Amino acid sequence: MEESLEDFLKKYKGTFVFLETAKEKRRLVEFVTADENSLHFTSPETGSILVRFDNAKKVIRTVFPEVGLYNIGDTLFVDFFRVPERQWKRSPCRSNCAFGIPLHNTMATPTIDYNTMSQAFAPWYPNSKEEAEKAIAERGGVALNTQFGITLSDTADYNLWYRLSCIGTIKDNQIKLNYIPLTQEVKDFFGENLTWTNK
């Protein structure tokens, strides 16, 4: 059974999808609206893009970023998560995903928009301790991967975060965990002796 335009709009209107054709690499766009024959997409790079409705399934790719921490913009890091109340939408949008922040009084929570979604789909994480320390000095904190982040601390050199929970501190490169259930995950990332060094 073919999908009606009404059903298609219900699933995708206002969402971020990738358009992909044989001639072009995939491109992040926002699905704005549709008429009887065409779907209307937009992106800052290309402006308005029209796709024939009967061709939509061939060129639209729906993907969600991995749930976890991202370095978005130029402050700290954010936690990307899905909001279960609106799962009938088939792609990321403002009603089915959100960003959380670790320190609420230091920054505004980013919104789900083209800029933040494009950064989540092309994540950046530091490749070395020096790169992470530079980012922390500039931003106040940095996500090391989708699970762990580090921010400046008043009581140690740094606070260690697992998603949006502060789980310990780092002082003189030694990690002190306050949340023991994550010991193995921290060891898997930082090493058995719980020190933050270049590896």
- Write down the pLDDT at residue 157: 94
2-54 pLDDT per residue, tens: 678 888 888 888 999 999 877 778 899 999 998 888 899 999 988 999 998 88
| Confidence at residue 10, expressed as pLDDT on a 0 to 100 scale | 85
Sheet with strand 27-34: strands edge to edge: 47-52, 38-43, 27-34, 16-19, 60-61
- Residues 170/157, Cβ–Cβ less than 8 Å: yes
Domain ranges of the chain: 5-61, 64-172
Q: What is the pLDDT of residue 32?
A: 93
Q: Is the pLDDT of residue 87 over 80?
A: no
What average pLDDT does range 52-57 have in this prediction? 86
Supply the pLDDT for residue 26.
87
Residue 198 tokens read as 């270049």
**pLDDT tens for residues 143-190?**
999 999 999 999 999 999 999 999 999 999 999 999 999 999 999 999
Mean pLDDT in residue range 61-75: 91
- pLDDT of amino acid 23: 76
Q: What is the pLDDT of residues 97-141, one digit of tens each?
A: 999 988 766 677 889 999 999 999 999 999 999 999 999 999 889
Residues 6+ apart with CB under 8 A from 122: none
DSSP character at residue 195: B
Supply the CATH classification number for the domain 5-61. 2.30.30
Extended beta strands in 91-185, E state? 97-100, 141-143, 148-152, 158-162, 165-171, 174-177
pLDDT, position 159: 95
- DSSP letters for 52-107: EGGGHHHHEE---PPSEEE--TTSS-EEEEE-GGGTTSSS--TTTEEEE-S-TTTS
Separation of alpha carbons 145 and 70, rounded Å: 7
